[in-house]
Chain A
Amino acid sequence: MNFLLINFFLISLLLVTTFFIFKTTSLISVVALTGAFTLLCSAIYVNLDAVDVAFTEAAVGSGISTILMVMAAAKLPEGKKNKLINLFPSIILAVAISLILIIIIANLPLLGDPNAPIHLHVVPEYLKESKDFFHIPNVVTNILASYRGFDTLGETIVIFTAGLGVIALLTSNTLNRKTNFKKNKKNER
């Protein structure tokens, strides 16, 4: 009962936050509200006993990405106010997508259903044998680093490549920053 009440409370807060994200026009408040949104998501994950996911969501979603978005928003020029646009096509699109999602949700297994396909495939095997074999109590770590070691290597390379991309795109003028600065000063003289 408590579980349901907490979940209901968190999801209604999520709806309120979404409404305000939709309503606000200032970029910084949108960034702050998105941070609040992901923090609420991580609270929901804690309520569902997915502590590892919640931890990642809190650290990455509401921590680092909010900071990066604030930095990006600070670099953007002052936004103009949106003119009134024709909302009709977007409303039709939103209603259609929500209908599709609702139909899909009706076909999903219930929350915590032990007979759901996800709980019948390889998970029982992992839960049963991993603790005896690895002597590591956290099954998530076992799956992440050992059973799915290749996937995690791929994820690390994805993060590395993303970093390389940003450095290549944005830092090209930081390396030349000092020389450009000197040139500009000379030109001013």
Chain B
Amino acid sequence: MRDKISSSPVLSVVSKILFAPIIIFGLYVQFHGDYGPGGGFQAGVIVAAAFILYSMIFGLSKGETLVPIMINRYLMCLGVLLYAGVGIVSIFLDGMYLDYNVLSSDPSTGQHIGIILVELGVGITVATVMIALYHSFASFGEINE
């Protein structure tokens, strides 16, 4: 079934055109979440959708070359650590855990920095977990085929 899909020129051309705009839209949702609807969770899912589209059209092995499994797993941990790390940094700056006020001399700037970093951590974790889920599902039971 996969060979049939990848041999269709329409699908591969359309997905090549769509790949970059989807990621740019994901980044827009990620960093514009303070002003409009959106945030880390939605942005992570949108970015993951671009990579999942790529591995659906061009096959799982090409998708795994684009996002190597081990790098994906390190990024998964990096997102959670970034979130938790912002909390630890605010402890070292004489604040409470996840108290963003102390991240900058001006409390509201500190809140802005904290929220952007935290949302980035959420986005990285969600995107990589979704890619990992897809790759695990897609590669499951391939030996039997």
Contact = CB atoms under 8 A, between A and B. Distances in A.
A112 interface: no
Contact of B38 (A52, A166, A171): A52
Interface string B18-50: 000000000001000111111101100110110
Contacts of A54: 37
Nearest to A169: B136
Contacts of A169: 136
Q: A72, A133, A167: which has the most chain B beta carbons within 10 Å?
A: A167
A146 B35 contact: no
B41 A166 contact: no
B88 to A, nearest CB: 12
A167 B98 CA distance: 29
B12 interface: no
Contacts of A72: 137
B118 interface: yes
B28 to A, nearest CB: 12
Tell me the interface secondary structure of chain A in the complex.
Answer: helix
Interface string B84-96: 1001000000000
Chain A interface bracket (under 10, 10 to 19, 20 to 34, 35 or more) = 35 or more
Nearest to A134: B111
A96 interface: no
Contact of A163 (B34, B41, B129, B143): B129
Interface residues of B, number: 55
Nearest to B38: A55
A116 interface: no
Nearest to A74: B1
Given A135-B112, A145-B115, A159-B125, A56 B140 contact: no
20 contacts: A56-B41, A67-B56, A72-B137, A74-B1, A134-B108, A134-B115, A136-B112, A145-B118, A146-B100, A146-B114, A146-B115, A149-B98, A153-B98, A155-B122, A159-B126, A162-B129, A167-B73, A169-B136, A171-B69, A171-B136
Interface of A: 51-52, 54-56, 59-60, 63-64, 67-68, 71-72, 74-75, 133-138, 140-142, 144-146, 149-150, 152-153, 155-157, 159-160, 162-164, 166-167, 169-171, 173-174, 177, 180-181, 184
